[in-house]
């Protein structure tokens, strides 16, 4: 009896399927209709970053660097043009060092029409960061997201005042991260983008599609190298700019740790030979004979594995760890020398290099 019922059900379903295939007019009554999109439907999903710009743009200011004329020390003339980003309700503004480096007076113009003289809190030539402060109430603050991590392909907008035309927004993506090749000493990693950054954009904001600060615009490749190039621009990552700002506010300048060692990432072959527990280590290439590293006993070809108990992940992480250490403290550094692990104690000095 059960077999008879199953055969009947299967036969009925097969018959219905054959009818639907043979008689198309029966399908609309049984299957949902898919209506083609009209022009009006498409306009309702039009891509726009207006919301991101409205959130970020009010906090991006125009900066005018003024200097006394040589023949008249009572007369100021505008010598430089740039942009800046308000990042705190206390009026702190992040901009580029090169925007205000030679200024006798700094004028900040907000997008709501307010104009104020800015105080230079401090500057750091190495990272091309300067921190200004203005007084004012209800200052616009750019959205900040410390958890955001820049990734290649992320949409970004560059906001600034190119050629003093007025606030301008350009569009692009993040082309690369960790670009250190344009840094004079390879000690600083930039975000590369194809969003246009022109003269006057320096110090402005690079934001993501949510209007959150991604970096501080600093240069185009053409400005950095005098080559005729397009679509290659650079920004200082927000995390680095924030770190430098906090150091400047706390100490008036950036105090960096120094151990006097130069190294490079170990190659993939050496990595595999050392084993997974040693991945990320760097090999010491040179030691400053007058530096703390030499006094601690570091030698060329040592492989650094951990610093102050923290596992390292390449040359950049070593630089970040060491520069964040306060001069005068002693830390243990785990190294691998001729296949054996050793711990060296090194007293951190202050890095006074520019």
| Residue 278 annotated to the active site | no
Q: Pick from 244, 253, 56, 245: which is nearest to 133 by CA?
A: 245
Cα distance between residue 183 and residue 51, in whole Å:
34
Beta bridge partners of 351: none
Cα distance between residue 36 and residue 42, in whole Å:
11
Rg (CA), the chain: 29
| Residue 202 annotated to the active site | yes
Q: Is 240 helix (H, G, I), strand (E, B) or coil?
A: helix
Q: Is 306 helix (H, G, I), strand (E, B) or coil?
A: strand
Cα distance between residue 199 and residue 55, in whole Å:
24
Catalytic hit among 202, 220, 233, 302? 202
Pairing of strands 213-220, 205-208: antiparallel
What are φ and ψ of residue 230, in 5° steps? -140, 150
Catalytic hit among 65, 83, 128, 220? 128
CB hemisphere CA count around 80 (13 angstroms): 25
What are the DSSP E strand ranges found in 97-245?
Answer: 105-109, 115-117, 119-124, 129-133, 155-160, 168-179, 190-193, 205-208, 213-220, 233-237
Q: Pick from 153, 165, 161: which is nearest to 209 by CA?
A: 153
Q: Is 286 helix (H, G, I), strand (E, B) or coil?
A: strand
- Residues with catalytic roles: 98, 128, 202
């Amino acid at each position: 009896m059960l077999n008879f019922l199953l055969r009947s059900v299967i036969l009925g379903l097969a018959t219905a399927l054959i009818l639907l295939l043979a008689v198309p007019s029966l399908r609309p009554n049984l299957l949902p209709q898919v209506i083609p999109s009209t022009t009006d439907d498409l306009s309702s999903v039009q891509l726009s970053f207006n919301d991101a710009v409205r959130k970020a743009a009010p906090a991006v200011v125009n900066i005018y660097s003024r200097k006394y004329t040589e023949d008249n020390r009572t007369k100021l003339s505008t010598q430089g043009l740039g942009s800046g980003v308000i990042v705190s309700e206390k009026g702190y503004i992040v901009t580029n060092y090169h925007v205000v480096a030679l200024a006798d007076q700094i004028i900040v113009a907000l997008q709501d029409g307010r104009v104020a003289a800015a105080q230079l809190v401090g500057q750091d030539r190495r990272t091309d960061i300067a921190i200004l402060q203005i007084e004012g109430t209800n200052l616009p603050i750019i959205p900040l997201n410390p958890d955001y991590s820049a990734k290649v392909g992320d949409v970004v907008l560059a906001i600034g005042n190119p050629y003093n035309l007025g606030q301008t927004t350009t569009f692009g993506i993040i082309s690369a991260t960790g670009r250190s090749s344009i840094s004079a000493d390879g000690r600083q990693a930039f975000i590369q983008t194809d969003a246009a950054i022109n003269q006057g954009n320096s110090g402005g904001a690079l934001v993501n599609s949510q209007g959150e600060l991604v970096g501080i615009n600093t240069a185009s490749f053409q400005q950095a190298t005098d080559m005729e190039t397009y679509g290659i621009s650079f920004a200082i990552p927000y995390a680095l700019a924030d770190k430098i700002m906090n150091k400047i506010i706390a100490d008036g300048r950036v105090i960096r740790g120094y151990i006097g060692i130069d190294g490079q990432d170990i190659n993939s072959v050496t990595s595999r030979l050392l084993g997974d527990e040693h991945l990320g280590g760097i090999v010491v290439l040179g030691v400053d004979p007058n530096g703390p590293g030499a006094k601690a006993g570091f030698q060329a070809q040592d492989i650094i594995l951990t610093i102050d108990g923290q596992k390292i992940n390449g040359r950049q992480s070593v630089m970040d760890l060491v520069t964040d250490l306060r001069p005068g403290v002693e830390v243990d550094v785990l190294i691998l020398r001729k296949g054996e692990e050793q711990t060296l104690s090194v007293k951190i000095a202050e890095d006074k290099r520019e």
